[in-house]
Structure 1
């Protein structure tokens, strides 16, 4: 009998990661593709997993995504801001092409699962994981379980109060002043002439970003009272941003909500690995998976 193989896909707004492990949790193969049109990415993924067959496959995708396993459209993208991906039956197409079971969830819920198992939410049953990258997504765990309804919640599209000096159009095609439209990577990048990675820590944009992200954290705190809020994604690689968010939160909350401190407002411990590890967690017990950080 051949040893079991487990596959994982993290489909994000700018890149798609995939990998295969054995029963011992060691990565046997990994690859990365730029997120393009669905048929192109599907062909790339089928090519990878045809070379590295798996017994089951975990899919963590940007959303909105149908994550109801009883739904006829389980694993299908809903109306999304990513061009050409709306209504794409992602999980079904993979399952049919690879003749394997596919378990699907959103990229942010998968990342939250991984943080709970390996990272900044270890030992914590009530927390929110916020990814701030190409988009903004939130995965919330209450009493150790992911919070979902008919579909997964979308706090990344909660409306924010615009700074009166901020007249740049929203980066979200659906909302004029949601968190994703004002504070995601593309939203911030359109406000400055250089890449965010080259922007000085003293640039005014960071104060604006901190204000918007603190508003989102304030809403999460009021709604869920999490023990921790964990921030991940490319924008949070700026080391000066976290304390700025903490300060902005305190100014907005005015001692009404629970305070955010260095103990309960944290940056992701898994860096770029959270989503792929979370996808793997959908199909693998993950006792011995090697964590690259």
Structure 2
């Protein structure tokens, strides 16, 4: 049996898995372990894949920032990151030294976004913004059926924001403080602002209207620049279902009928593949390398 491999490389944990090349939705074996430094973590990754001989290709969706330019001297590296033991680590090179097979190298949000494009909420459209809101905020952007990248991958979690009039939180982003989307809306920002984890806040807490205001503002910005067919929210924060009607309501208010968009119930969507999106995206991207 020929296999596909998947590495969902998160800042907190790694998830590795294999699936049948012909049926990537069916996971044959899966394992997860805490993220340590690059060398220790990749030893665990390689030990998992050592169990399998017939791997056609592996998809890697990694926390960033990472170098995704194939002609760069540091292509495949993790760049400057606060995660200890990872800055300047040659992730892709380490995997190629282990086994020289095709690898699809991209960001964690691109992996999850691609899964939504292939088999999730966006499977019937060609242009999508997938935004994850959890420990941090990031976006995978697909335009005309291809992952968007320029000089590097998008960092759409760091767009500048107009402050909510009732928000006096100092923000958590070490670069932008309370001026960017991540600094205002990521899980630790919710906890920092209200003194309690978002999962412990009731649905009727004012936190959710404020969160929705910022996420809707981001959606308006992405709409104006990218004109996607759909915007999908994933990650821990959007697990709170009350957010979606609040985001749609705030989006309509902030857009103020300026641009024509689809019905908001279909335009602004939750992730459909749930916590499997990252691994599924790795399988789907790996399969694009198999001839």
CA contact (8 A) 1:67 1:75 kept: yes
Partners in 2 of 1:178 and 1:84 — Cα distance? 26
Q: Which residue of 1 aligns with 2:13?
A: 15
Contact 1:50 1:98 in 2 (8 A): no
Aligned mates of 1:87, 1:178 — CA distance in 2: 25
User: Larger deviation: 194-203 or 217-226?
Assistant: 194-203
Superposition CA RMSD, Å: 2.1
1:154: how far off? 1.2
Of 173-182 and 67-76, deviating more is 67-76
Q: 1:204-251: CA deviations, max 9, x gaps? A: 111111111111111100101111111111111001011111111122
8 Å CA contact 1:61–1:106 kept in 2: the answer is yes
Distance in structure 2 (CA, Å) of the matches to 1:35 and 1:164: 38
TM-score by length of 1: 0.90
Partner of 1:281: 284
Structure 1 residue runs without a partner (length 5+): 287-293
* Paired position in structure 2 for 1:123: 124
Structure 1 residues 142-291: aligned runs within 5 Å: 142-176=143-177, 177-259=179-261, 261-284=264-287
Distance 2:183 2:83 in 1: 13
- How far is 1:41 from its partner? 1.8
Structure 2: 5+ residue stretches without partners: none
CA distance in 2, matches of 1:13, 1:166: 28
Q: Give the 3 Å change call, closer, same or farther, for CA 81–257 of structure 1 in structure 2.
A: farther
> How do residues 104-123 of structure 1 correspond to structure 2 at under 5 angstroms?
104-123=105-124
Counterpart residue number, 2:29: 29
* Distance in 1 between residues matched to 2:284 and 2:147, nearest whole Å: 13
**TM superposition score normalised by structure 2:** 0.91
C-alpha contact 2:5 2:19 (8 A) present in aligned 1: yes
Give the stretch that moved more between structures: 24-33 or 234-243. 24-33
CA distance in 1, matches of 2:226, 2:129: 8
Q: Residues 41 and 179 of structure 1: is their aligned pair in 2 closer, same or farther, counting only changes over 3 Å?
A: same
Query: Which residue matches 2:64?
Result: 63
